[in-house]
Amino acid sequence: MLHYRRISLKGSNVIMAWFLFLLIVVAYSSVEGKASKETRRAALNDVKAELTLEEAWGAALRNNNSWLASQADERSAEEANTQAKLSFLPSAQGQISSQRGRAENISTGENIAGDTITERKTGKSTNTRMGITVSQNLFNGFASVNRMKAMSSNERAAHHKLKFEEQKLFIRVLDAYTSIWVGRQKVTALKKKEENLKKTADSKNSGMEAGIGTPAEVAQANANHQKAIYERIEAETELFTAESEFKKLTGLKTDGSIELPNTEFQLPESLDKLISRAMAFNHSIMAAKLEEQTEYHNLNAAKGALSPSCDLELGVSRSLTKERYNNSINNYSATLQMNVPIFTNSPSSGNAYSAIAIANQKALKAKFIAEDTIQEIVKECIVQWNKYIAALAMIRASRSAVKSAELSAQSNFEENAIGTKSNTEIWVEENQLLDAKINLANSRKQRILSAVTIFVLAGNSDLRSLFRKK
d(CA 43, CA 41): 5
What confidence tens digit (pLDDT) does each residue in 167-186 have?
999 999 999 999 999 999 99
Residues 6+ apart with CB under 8 A from 164: 283, 284, 287
Looking at residue 123, its pLDDT comes to 67
pLDDT in tens, 61-114: 888 888 889 999 999 999 999 988 888 888 889 888 888 777 666 667 666 666
Residue 123 falls inside a structural domain: no
Alpha carbons 49 and 46: distance in angstroms, whole number: 5
Under the banding of pLDDT at 50, 70 and 90, the label for residue 162 is very high
Q: Is residue 405 part of a domain?
A: yes
Say if residues 385 and 458 touch (Cβ distance below 8 Å). Answer: no
- Reply yes or no on whether the pLDDT at 239 is more than 90: yes
C-alpha closest to that of 150 among 87, 199, 212, 200? 87
The whole-number pLDDT of residue 36 equals 46
Nearest to 261 by CA among 448, 391, 438: 448
DSSP state of 466: S
- Listing DSSP states for 123-148 in one string gives EEEEEEEEEEEEEEEEESTTHHHHHH
Residue 103 belongs to a domain? no
Q: What is the CATH number of the domain that holds 252?
A: 1.20.1600.10
Contacts 24+ apart (CB under 8 A), 350-354: 352/302, 352/305, 352/306
Predicted pLDDT at 45: 40
Query: What is the average pLDDT score of the chain?
Result: 82
142 class by beta-carbon count within 10 Å (0-12 exposed, 13-18 middle, 19+ buried): middle
Closest CA to 157 of 62, 271, 298, 356: 298
Nearest to residue 421, comparing CAs of 436, 406, 411? 411
Looking only at the bridges linking them, the beta strands covering 262-263 and 116-139 are: unpaired
Choice among 132-136, 208-212, 445-449 with the minimum mean pLDDT: 208-212
Q: Specify whether the backbone of 248 is left (phi greater than 0), alpha (psi in -120 to 50) or beta.
A: alpha
Q: 39 φ, ψ to 5°?
A: -65, -45
* Dist. CA 165–CA 461, nearest whole Å: 11
Helical packing angle, 65-86 and 143-209, nearest 10°: 170
Confirm if 77 and 151 have CB atoms less than 8 A apart.
yes
Q: Is residue 8 included in any domain, yes or no?
A: no
Q: Is the pLDDT of residue 260 over 90?
A: no
Instruction: Give me the percent of the chain exceeding a pLDDT of 90.
Output: 41
- Segments forming the whole domain that contains residue 425: 53-95+128-460
pLDDT tens for 385-400 read: 999 999 999 999 999 9
Higher pLDDT, 41 or 443: 443
Tell me if 441 sits within 8 A of 382, measured CB to CB. no
The set of residues, in sequence order, having a beta carbon less than 8 Å from that of 101 and lying 6+ positions away, is 124, 125, 126, 127
* Position 18 pLDDT exceeds 70: no
In a domain, 165, yes or no: yes
Distance CA 390, CA 377 (A): 20
The continuous run of DSSP H or E covering 23 comes out as helix 2-47
Classify residue 79 by burial, with Cβ atoms within 10 Å: 0-12, 13-18, 19+.
exposed
Quick check: is 466 in a domain?
A: no
Identify the pLDDT of residue 44. Answer: 36
Domain tally for the chain?
A: 1
How many Å separate Cα 97 from the centre of its chain?
Answer: 52
Task: Give me the half-sphere count of Cα atoms (radius 13 Å) on the Cβ side of residue 70.
Answer: 20
Whole-number Å distance between alpha carbons of 448 and 452: 6
What is the structure's pLDDT at 240?
Answer: 95
Task: Report percent pLDDT > 70 for the chain.
Answer: 79
